Amino acid sequence: MSALTFTLKQRTDQRVDMSPLVCQKLSGMEPAEIAAIELQNGKSKVRVDSLFKISGSDSHNIQFKNSFGKLDFIGKDLTEGSIHVEGDVGAYLGMGMSAGAIDVFGNTDIYAACEMKGGQLVIDGNAGDFLGAAMVGNKQGMKGGVVIVKGSVGDRAGDHMRRGVMLIEGDTGDYCGSRMVAGTIAVLGKTGRFPGYMMSRGTLLLWTQPQLSASFNDCGAHTLAFLPILLNSFKKYNSRFAEVDTFNRVQRFGGDMAEKGLGEILVKI
């Protein structure tokens, strides 16, 4: 059985809500039924088959081709199966997903992995602002799972993050790990201004020295036995994190002292 493939016929002017096209909702549906699903497109509703050429039938294995930056909510609340996207995607990629896998060969807009609960999300390009953040007004962002970004990410990655692992191979924007409650963000590239801004707990693991705000205290150099274990756990991923040299020496900075102050920024020595 070949992957259920949606190939975009032409780009729309308005944004499209793609949340109905997830594995668990499409399983057991006839091709004609899938074609007849209506998607919200700006103010109007459009049928799936008017936007996409549909082929294949394995709803457990969905592919979107020719995707572009106005397809929002791809993989929303995904609970099983895999979604593979070729091209850019819009906002809220993998929002609230609890299991399964999404990989995107392109860039994402804001709020990818928003309030994600589990599963694995891989972005081959760059991610926009608020990666793994909480929706506006909510108090907890990403609560589990793994996010791997091969490019760079925008501002406020991991805003209100609660649990889970975020692996960023490129650089981050400002306020990386802002208001973090807990969880781990590892960054191979550079970080912008104010990393860990208002974080109460959680860990930022950095390979380059960041520009820290005054409310982080230098706690000295440490040898941390858990670091090799953590780094080894990255070996199973298709990521540069699988190839990094294992180390256990870090400079530890505690903060944000303007908040609870139990968070830490660990910088490889």
Interface residues with other proteins (CB under 8 A)? 135-139
**Long-range CB contacts (< 8 A, 24+ apart) of 243-251?**
244/188, 244/207, 248/223, 248/224, 249/221, 249/222, 249/223, 250/205, 250/221, 250/222, 250/224, 251/209, 251/218, 251/220, 251/221, 251/222
CB of 140 to other proteins, least distance (A): 9
Nearer to other proteins, 27 or 138 (CB): 138
The single-letter code of the amino acid at 63 is: Q
* Contact status, residue 89 vs residue 113, Cβ threshold 8 Å: no
Nearer to other proteins, 135 or 224 (CB): 135
DSSP per residue, 35-77: HH-EEEETTEEEEHHHHEEEE--EEEEEEEEEE-TTEESTTTT
3-state secondary structure of 100: coil
Nearer to other proteins, 135 or 219 (CB): 135
Nearer to other proteins, 60 or 201 (CB): 201
CB of 86 to other proteins, least distance (A): 31
Q: How far is CA 170 from CA 113, 206, 254, 255, in A?
A: 17, 11, 24, 24
* Contact status, residue 223 vs residue 246, Cβ threshold 8 Å: no
DSSP secondary structure code for residue 89 in this structure? B
CB of 135 to other proteins, least distance (A): 7
Nearer to other proteins, 37 or 135 (CB): 135
Nearer to other proteins, 56 or 261 (CB): 261
The count of C-alpha atoms lying within 13 angstroms of the C-alpha of 205, restricted to the half-sphere facing its C-beta, is: 23
CB of 137 to other proteins, least distance (A): 3
CB of 136 to other proteins, least distance (A): 5
Nearer to other proteins, 3 or 135 (CB): 135
CB of 167 to other proteins, least distance (A): 29
What is the Cα–Cα distance from 218 to 1, expressed in whole angstroms? 56
The single-letter code of the amino acid at 126 is: N
Dihedral angle over CA of 162, 165, 169, 171, nearest 10 = 10
CB of 52 to other proteins, least distance (A): 26
Max Cα distance, the chain (Å): 63
Nearer to other proteins, 139 or 249 (CB): 139
CB of 88 to other proteins, least distance (A): 26
